[in-house]
Structure 1
Amino acid sequence: MIVSVLQTRRYGWNFLPFVGINPRSPFGGGAFLTEIMKTSTTTTNASTTSPTPSAPRIRPLGDVLDDETIKPRNRLLGPWLLERGATMVFAPPGVGKSWFSLAVATAVATCGTFGHWSAESPNRVLYIDGEMDMADLKGRAKLAIKAAEGGNPDLIRENVVLFARHDQPEEEDNFPDFSNPDDADAILAIVRQHRPQLVVLDNLSTLATVDDENAAAAWDNFLKLLLRIKSAGAAVLVVHHSNKNGEQYRGSSKIATTFEAIVRLRPNPREAASDGAAFLLDFTKTRMQSADSRKVFNVSFADARWHWDTLVDPAIAELVRRFLDGEFKSQAEAASVLGISKGEVSKRLGKAYAAGLTTKAEIQAAMAAAKRNAEDGEAH
């Protein structure tokens, strides 16, 4: 605790409610640092003897089954953003990652909705931004509030707390690095002070310095910090960039192991986002039991309104999966197995191509591979 408090005291950070600059707010930098100072004085006057580490808890499964204090996790938003969970959203630059994250934060804070996903209750959000100018962040926040649906919009002014790099005093150049273990205790002190149910990290490239993104070990410090934030009782939404082809996130595959859900946003070739956002949304990883995990959503934000369409139904996504898994050597075989016409198979594949779910070349390659595998099997 001494290290945590002293490191936090070293920074001159500002924390502000979502809209409006109000240093006298109970969540503003002055009050926060005053409390940290008090705690620091008390702590440093206490005994400096290192406490004996507590033994790890290891108990029979029966004790866990009978433990009434273990409750099902609350849904912060829909089935994919759960209490004490970890989610990542990734996309190419300019597609709408921050718009998406602000909309999620708004829905969580107000007990509102985003698309057809709803929050179960209003919750505190700590939004940490690493790159956006404060004028742009303020403008987007106002539009996000205007576009919010359901819930109580009055709650957002205090339920979302901002910690932004470009809101810090000019003379301070010590915004925390989320991959630096020396900053980890100070970051945890911030989370424990504000007690959010959701922490948004926007975005990973500007908040964490990773020398070699493709090296698994290079991510260890950041991933350990995420686990500590979750242990402190908060869910985490990490905003990240996609790789060059836009199909996967940037960096080592090790990143995925930490997250329960990974949301992919891809540019919508039929929509132009001049002053908002337009993207195709799907999940590349989920641990949820939901039909949403097999859907592709067509999402756009324009005129301070979100517009949603389900672009691909589960039957189309399942058809694509079976083709890519090598189950069908031809469209005719798929039609025979599924009990539908060849024309219907072609129609469904056409919708999948339009949605960016797969390409004609990928399906043709998968059918050719299935045909070769079948011929090899007959030869043996």
Structure 2
Amino acid sequence: MQDFDRSIREIAADYFHDIELDQPAWTAARRITPSEKIVANKKQWGDKPKDEAEILGPPVATYRYLDVNGNVIAAVTRYEPKTFRPWCFREIDGEMKWMIGSPPVRPIYHLPEVSKSDVVVLVEGEGKADALATFGVVTTSLMGGANAVAKTDWTPLQGKTVVVWPDNDAPGRNFCTDATAALLSIGCKVFVVQIPADKPEKWDCANCIREGGDAGALVAAAVEVAGNNNDDGSQGAAGTSGANANASSDDAAGAGGTSRSGQQSGHQQQHGRASGSKPDPDLERHELLVSAWRQRELPPRDYLLDGVLCTTSRWLVIGETGVGKTLFGLELGFAVAAAANFLIWKGVRPARVMYLDGEMPAETLKERVESAASVYGEVELYAYNRDVIGDGAMPPLNGSAGQQWLWREIEAVKPDLIIFDAIMSLLVGPLSEEETWLPMTPLIRQISSQRIGQVWLHHTGHDTSKGFGTKTMQWQLDTVLMLTKNDGDRSLTLEFSKARLRRPETEGLFKPQTIRRDAPGWTSEPGNVKPKESASERKRAWFQQVYNNLALDVTPSPGHTAAPVRKVAITAIRGEMIKRGFLATEDGKLPARERVAFQRAREELLRSGQFATDGTAFWRVK
């Protein structure tokens, strides 16, 4: 209180010059007055707040740090554009309060799983740790990434085998060096994943999974660090005695280790090798020759619906909310199960179908099942609904628990086709982030390897011409089908934008159709595809729409002509377009093509004469 009183008196003395300070001369000679301090700080920091450093975009993911008992002790929230903020409990006035900031000593990620495992894979970043964990591997990362080695409590890893997977850049290599030293100092056996020589700068485990690479093989082939002390005095790679040895039977199934009948997958049977075993390089090259391909015996396609859907098909059905995706998907499943015709496609054989509903209440699903059964009869279709089986019984499929649950159900039901309704409700996390979809890429391939067809139902965003979220969602899918509402009636246009089964002799099966759901079920007639709005036209319309929405909350101020206008920061328009899915991000960043599209949309609006800008703000003049 005494210091506060003196500060007030100093400020008054400095500004009004009518107060004498009763302080010793030697103190006054050394003390900097408040105004002098303000002037000094202004020279160093400026006199305006750095707004751009404080504004955070929408939160897109939260990574929770737990203690060994599963209690939350800290968290990291990721915002878009890519920014991170740590949170933890701190003692304030004798009470523990949840506050922004990192704890003095930072915990490691996935601590409950780490505490029970002898082998752990260390990566840079929580999202990568979550993605790699879906392969049945115990993973961890640091709170703060590569810069947090000296601030982390490493003791939970003491004496364990740790495989370090660094990013392929200078910070990643420095992280690997520092982390290895810290791990060796507490008695760990350390292995380092060797980045393939052909990989680009910044390549990491997330890129490996996204590209369809064999992440497990890279972990298994990690090279042991000099200084490890093995019991037998040897040094070697972290092979089956490493991370793979800790996968449960459920994890192994989830990683493509066993088929529905408990046998090896078709690929493994074909080549007579177990997954993860080191191939003979000469034999592999020989098998890639054209002559080998021409002689290779592969099982014929097992079609479920005419020539468009088979047991290795991977469909993505996209439509805006309310278009009728569920009715379409459910009755498609009924028709396949009943070997019945559907639209212009002919039924082939009776099949067993799993339908995973992640969004409807039980009574709505019951009504739709009864409606489909009135057309196709009672068929062998298993309809899963969280209201019936319990909300916790069908965990998010992009997590290890959800994938283990799915493989258990596949083993029990042995389906020919699985229909997923819908992606947004069966996964957890923002679909605008690739890390949300990343764990699904290996799962989709593994389901195909068991010769099970897949139909994924998906929503559009504000752009109703494409599915919401990252474009990488379509990379592992062989068929993309759009359902679009037609004006003036209840019909839809069905159009294939991607169809790998399309051949000259089957071209007619993939032509656009006009479809509608009437009393006897879905009907079809040849469709006329409307001219599509160009991408630049859509971007321009979205730019203007976002400006109009944001301008409503802006107080008018003088424009170039001194007339009052509503100025909106260009950065705010860009941020809102990203938030609403009008601009697509990749790895949390805006790619060059989207930056160019944003700039072009702005320039086209300026050329219209209806808008003006000063380089930082944008406003309407007409």
Normalised TM-score (structure 2): 0.39
Please give the alpha-carbon distance, in whole angstroms, between the structure 1 residues aligned to 2:410 and 2:313: 15
- Does residue 65 of the first structure (1) align with residue 286 of the second (2)? no
- Partner residue of 1:83 out of 291, 311, 322: 311
Please give the alpha-carbon distance, in whole angstroms, between the structure 1 residues aligned to 2:359 and 2:304: 26
Aligned residues of 1:188 and 1:229 also touching (Cα < 8 A): no
Aligned residues of 1:300 and 1:307 also touching (Cα < 8 A): yes
Aligned residues of 1:85 and 1:236 also touching (Cα < 8 A): yes
Change (3 A) 1:286 1:7: closer
1:308-350 Cα distance to aligned partner (Å, 9 max, x none): 11122xxx88xx69xx8xxxxxxxxxxxxxxxxxxxxxxxxxx
Aligned residues of 1:129 and 1:203 also touching (Cα < 8 A): yes
Q: How big is the shift at 1:307?
A: 2.2
Aligned residues of 1:3 and 1:185 also touching (Cα < 8 A): no
Please give the alpha-carbon distance, in whole angstroms, between the structure 1 residues aligned to 2:393 and 2:381: 23
Please give the alpha-carbon distance, in whole angstroms, between the structure 2 residues aligned to 1:279 and 1:200: 20
- Does residue 130 of the first structure (1) align with residue 358 of the second (2)? yes
Change (3 A) 1:230 1:98: same
Matched residues, number: 262
- RMSD of equivalent CA atoms: 3.1
- Does residue 146 of the first structure (1) align with residue 364 of the second (2)? no
Q: How big is the shift at 1:110?
A: 0.9
1:279-315 Cα distance to aligned partner (Å, 9 max, x none): 2111111111233476321111122432211122xxx
- The corresponding residue for 2:248 is 3
1:154-180 Cα distance to aligned partner (Å, 9 max, x none): 5x1xx21122212124xx634221111
- The corresponding residue for 2:516 is 300
- The corresponding residue for 1:311 is 527
Q: Which runs of 5+ in 1 are unaligned?
A: 9-38, 40-50, 273-277, 325-380
Please give the alpha-carbon distance, in whole angstroms, between the structure 2 residues aligned to 1:292 and 1:251: 30
Change (3 A) 1:286 1:5: closer
Change (3 A) 1:7 1:54: closer
Moved more, 190-199 or 108-117: 190-199
Aligned residues of 2:395 and 2:401 also touching (Cα < 8 A): no
Secondary structure of 1:258's counterpart equals coil
Q: 2:400 is matched by which residue type in structure 1?
A: P
Greater relative contact order (Cα < 8 A, sep 6+): 1
Q: Residues 194-343 of structure 1 correspond to what in structure 2 (within 5 A)?
A: 194-211=413-430, 213-272=431-490, 278-287=491-500, 288-289=502-503, 290-292=506-508, 295-312=511-528
- The corresponding residue for 1:54 is 277
Please give the alpha-carbon distance, in whole angstroms, between the structure 2 residues aligned to 1:83 and 1:7: 22
1:74-112 Cα distance to aligned partner (Å, 9 max, x none): 221133222211001011111110111012101110111
Change (3 A) 1:262 1:72: same
Please give the alpha-carbon distance, in whole angstroms, between the structure 1 residues aligned to 2:369 and 2:406: 24
Q: 1:253 is matched by which residue type in structure 2?
A: K
Q: 2:460 is matched by which residue type in structure 1?
A: S
1:26-58 Cα distance to aligned partner (Å, 9 max, x none): xxxxxxxxxxxxx9xxxxxxxxxxx99434583
Please give the alpha-carbon distance, in whole angstroms, between the structure 1 residues aligned to 2:342 and 2:276: 44
Please give the alpha-carbon distance, in whole angstroms, between the structure 1 residues aligned to 2:363 and 2:395: 22
Secondary structure of 2:495's counterpart equals strand
Q: Which runs of 5+ in 2 are unaligned?
A: 1-135, 137-246, 254-261, 263-273, 535-622
- Partner residue of 1:163 out of 378, 381, 384: 384
Please give the alpha-carbon distance, in whole angstroms, between the structure 2 residues aligned to 1:217 and 1:82: 29
Please give the alpha-carbon distance, in whole angstroms, between the structure 1 residues aligned to 2:317 and 2:248: 32
Please give the alpha-carbon distance, in whole angstroms, between the structure 1 residues aligned to 2:353 and 2:484: 26
Aligned residues of 1:188 and 1:228 also touching (Cα < 8 A): no
Normalised TM-score (structure 1): 0.62
Please give the alpha-carbon distance, in whole angstroms, between the structure 1 residues aligned to 2:295 and 2:369: 44
- The corresponding residue for 1:108 is 336
Q: How big is the shift at 1:218?
A: 3.1
Please give the alpha-carbon distance, in whole angstroms, between the structure 1 residues aligned to 2:512 and 2:373: 25
Give the fraction of aligned pairs with identical amino acids, expressed as a percent: 21
Please give the alpha-carbon distance, in whole angstroms, between the structure 2 residues aligned to 1:145 and 1:268: 27
1:176-201 Cα distance to aligned partner (Å, 9 max, x none): 21111343233222213211110110
Q: Find the structure with the greater CA-based Rg.
A: 2
Secondary structure of 2:438's counterpart equals helix
Q: 1:164 is matched by which residue type in structure 2?
A: N
Change (3 A) 1:93 1:307: same
Q: 1:266 is matched by which residue type in structure 2?
A: T
